[in-house]
Structure 1
């Protein structure tokens, strides 16, 4: 259905024309594929190859200009599905995919599966038309066809996928998702090959967390917009804290398995404390040591009469603290192994008591030492991928409680005379469905159009790759990277599973090194930056900036 309730900004954003990379501008019929070297998985090569015998070891692909007459020979039907959490720009991926298919052949058909992968299993879909799609161009959210977190992994689910995709006469399926969703895409591609379905499967890299990237996937879509939205909010808090000068604000930011969002928002706002989970893990810091480091900054500022500040906390921090990481891993295994017994208890306290007795003694002691609320949150049901739902764990409150306790001790010793009042925030869902920035509007459109070219050339088991992103969009380089190339083996629900390896903050990379140079200054001074809202209109030097992370990574010197 066309959207009826729209804002003035949305009306104007519909008029925005994304810029395609030059190699794609003439359409798929004017694009040739240049195959590179054969690839192998990033780790666990033999195990990954055993799971993907038909799609392992494919070559990297780069698109170049050149006649490709076979593209127009046959009209195709392509399905698209949005999988996992929302990210700004998803609608532009669909728009790029639609336009790429129609440019190649007006008879090509695009259908959207509704509600995520469950739409494939239930054969719920709608045929996408230009008239309806136009209302969603350059808009945020996934509401055009919705998303979902269903995983296609059982024999019955694969059979349903085959039956429904065959009944739809699909020549290709495009899966828009993060690392887990694109792992699923790889499994569907392998199944399609094994079953001779004749259906090409292509992935598109989506996650605001920024942890789906490598040399060919420089960033996942949505990261740019989400970090700009969070930076606006954090910048507002920095301005407030510098005005009132009486509170410490602890801000937890989305990013379950990596600290990319926190680091990028740190660059954009320059708060007093930025915790990077990967550094804490590398230094093998205990929870107590993390608290001591925070207290050290608070003491230094208090000595200058500054009983205020801003601290950024990555959502997944608790999993980066080695002792907590071991506890969560043990909890994952224990909860999976004893699921039926635990389900038989009525109260959370009974469940905790049962689990305490199943954990190793040292981890049981650690679990019991945590504040009751945090211990209970660690017992919550896992997500569909078997991971603890860290977004439900109020890590910032845990830190504040422990910081307060430490400061009371120091005050008794006479080594601290300041005041500490704390306010907490969690910014997560605020950034997932924002209207995409110019960068994400262009990038997503290019990713979708590029996915159409991959599908039309029958490159199955590939992830849409658009790179050279710090340059103007017309100079972006397009192609595909084999999904198996990014795989390793991880334990999920107590079993070994193939998974696209998450990209963590590289402590030897330029972004972190730049941060490390500056954080001591940020800690004791008010170096705050107030970036304001995402700018759509104005000088390109403001509206079209890429993330600081990409700028540092792509700078040659």
Structure 2
């Protein structure tokens, strides 16, 4: 391809997949070519760029990208390589881009990809103009209020289909299903899926407002919902848990929960051992629920833990003690959603974002700063890197669910879970206690803490 008179634009996609990546690639390519630019795409994110491998660049034409506008996945692939972790890696990235004659760069991804793009702009003093298109199905990036990250609406759409089918299965088979929904930093996806699928109860980390969260507390909230449903004559339900609960419980909380899951004989034996031996035994037992790995700082990699299976194990043990018989099935939800074909919302949205990225890069503003592309009320709103990314953490401040807003208030109103009124009304308290054959006083002692 002949060198374009207006220069060359490169596209890099990073992080986990999200519905709509191909929509961004397509719209960026089409608009850039229509504006007289040559377009190249790098395969597998920054992975090959940090190696200085220019052969990872492939030319993109309109016929190359147009057929994939409505398709999931990424025709360029993706990776989680962070180009800014090491100065020498970033230097190779910039050298490779400049060696290929790249004047404009569009990055598509989350925190690491955004920070990498911002550092490319900073280290080459704006010689390469950079626009970042934010994506995550978690919807946890701090865009303007009411503006989702692309891919979220599609993930919620298909997540609701799964949850609704599972809810009907629960009703048909008289059992409980428990879905752990992806979203480590925020509970947007869990709440969105739970609310739209009419789940019985949804639990997200934000509702605890920073207070300590224990696995027992999560389980008791779920058991409270089961008891309340049983009192209503329904022995089935659907619970949605946010993956972020695992982070809130933390390593110490998970290890402490192992005491409740271990056989009584093993607990008695461990009580006679040293604290160090106890900690080692607890960590070993935790391995029953996933690969117990530690990072460079010695902390457990919580993402390796099968949270749903752990909650189900503790629930089953607690329910046996209470004499409440029910079948519980756990399911993780997230990976099934990331490469789905985008729904019309995200198809349109990513066209806006791709077009907006090119428009920004060709504007005088791109000479002054690199930016994250956003749209508000139909208008392009470039957000400066320095206003969005904390240089110390190299990340954006996560956007959490606002549990003081009516959106969450509405969600809570339609959940079936224990509420303060269940304990203040003697008749309601008596009815709930009778389900598990406890006195009202004993029921309050067991479950009163879930509404405090």
Same fold (TM over 0.5): yes
- The equivalent position to 1:214 in structure 2, one of 143, 156, 173, is 143
- The equivalent position to 2:68 in structure 1, one of 113, 126, 136, is 136
List aligned pairs for 1:1-20, cutoff 5 A: none
Q: Distance in 2 between matches of 1:127 and 1:266?
A: 42
- The equivalent position to 2:348 in structure 1, one of 431, 438, 442, is 442
List aligned pairs for 1:299-448, cutoff 5 A: 299-321=227-249, 324=252, 369=282, 372-374=285-287, 377=290, 379-380=292-293, 390-411=302-323, 418-448=324-354
Task: Indicate the residue corresponding to 2:432 in structure 1.
Answer: none
Task: Indicate the residue corresponding to 2:397 in structure 1.
Answer: 501
Structure 1 position 180, deviation (Å)? 2.4
1:466 aligns with 2:378: no
> 2:221·2:418 contact (CA, 8 Å) conserved in 1?
no
Three-state SS of the structure 2 residue aligned to 1:289 is helix
Structure 1 position 375, deviation (Å)? 7.1
Structure 1 position 181, deviation (Å)? 1.7
Q: Which runs of 5+ in 2 are unaligned?
A: 257-274, 420-452
Q: Distance in 2 between matches of 1:366 and 1:375?
A: 15
Question: 1:453-474 CA distances to partner (integer Å, 9 max, x unpaired)?
Answer: 1111225420011122xxxxxx
Structure 1 position 270, deviation (Å)? 1.3
Q: Distance in 1 between matches of 2:417 and 2:196?
A: 15
Change (3 A) 1:437 1:204: same
- The equivalent position to 1:199 in structure 2, one of 128, 141, 144, is 128
Change (3 A) 1:306 1:419: farther
TM-score (norm 1): 0.65
Task: Indicate the residue corresponding to 2:164 in structure 1.
Answer: 235
Three-state SS of the structure 2 residue aligned to 1:429 is coil
Structure 1 position 404, deviation (Å)? 1.5
Structure 1 position 410, deviation (Å)? 2.1
Task: Indicate the residue corresponding to 2:389 in structure 1.
Answer: 487
Structure 1 position 379, deviation (Å)? 3.0
Structure 1 position 374, deviation (Å)? 4.9
> 1:254·1:391 contact (CA, 8 Å) conserved in 2?
no
Task: Indicate the residue corresponding to 2:77 in structure 1.
Answer: 146
Q: Distance in 1 between matches of 2:18 and 2:67?
A: 18
Question: 1:289-326 CA distances to partner (integer Å, 9 max, x unpaired)?
Answer: 22111111112222344222111111232112267579
Structure 1 position 381, deviation (Å)? 5.6
- The equivalent position to 1:159 in structure 2, one of 81, 85, 91, is 91
Change (3 A) 1:113 1:294: same
Structure 1 position 511, deviation (Å)? 2.1
Q: Distance in 1 between matches of 2:396 and 2:299?
A: 15
Three-state SS of the structure 1 residue aligned to 2:185 is coil
Task: Indicate the residue corresponding to 2:225 in structure 1.
Answer: 297
- The equivalent position to 1:104 in structure 2, one of 18, 35, 39, is 35
1:256 aligns with 2:184: yes
Q: Distance in 2 between matches of 1:386 and 1:161?
A: 31
1:517 aligns with 2:419: no
Three-state SS of the structure 1 residue aligned to 2:393 is strand
Change (3 A) 1:308 1:221: same
Task: Indicate the residue corresponding to 2:434 in structure 1.
Answer: none
Q: Distance in 2 between matches of 1:517 and 1:443?
A: 31
Three-state SS of the structure 1 residue aligned to 2:374 is strand
Three-state SS of the structure 1 residue aligned to 2:416 is helix
Question: 1:177-214 CA distances to partner (integer Å, 9 max, x unpaired)?
Answer: 01222122222221121xxx611111101111110133
Q: Distance in 2 between matches of 1:291 and 1:169?
A: 57
> 1:77·1:171 contact (CA, 8 Å) conserved in 2?
yes
> 2:222·2:417 contact (CA, 8 Å) conserved in 1?
no
Task: Indicate the residue corresponding to 2:11 in structure 1.
Answer: 80
Q: Distance in 2 between matches of 1:375 and 1:482?
A: 46
> 2:181·2:242 contact (CA, 8 Å) conserved in 1?
yes
Change (3 A) 1:217 1:211: same
Question: 1:270-297 CA distances to partner (integer Å, 9 max, x unpaired)?
Answer: 1112111111353433222221111111
Change (3 A) 1:202 1:120: same
Three-state SS of the structure 1 residue aligned to 2:350 is helix
1:288 aligns with 2:216: yes
- The equivalent position to 1:115 in structure 2, one of 44, 53, 68, is 44
Task: Indicate the residue corresponding to 1:27 in structure 2.
Answer: none
> 2:155·2:340 contact (CA, 8 Å) conserved in 1?
yes
Structure 1 position 168, deviation (Å)? 0.9
Q: Distance in 1 between matches of 2:316 and 2:191?
A: 25
Three-state SS of the structure 2 residue aligned to 1:445 is helix
Q: Distance in 2 between matches of 1:284 and 1:303?
A: 30
> 1:176·1:206 contact (CA, 8 Å) conserved in 2?
yes
- The equivalent position to 1:275 in structure 2, one of 203, 208, 227, is 203
Structure 1 position 112, deviation (Å)? 0.1
Change (3 A) 1:428 1:454: same
Structure 1 position 481, deviation (Å)? 0.3
Q: Distance in 1 between matches of 2:183 and 2:43?
A: 26
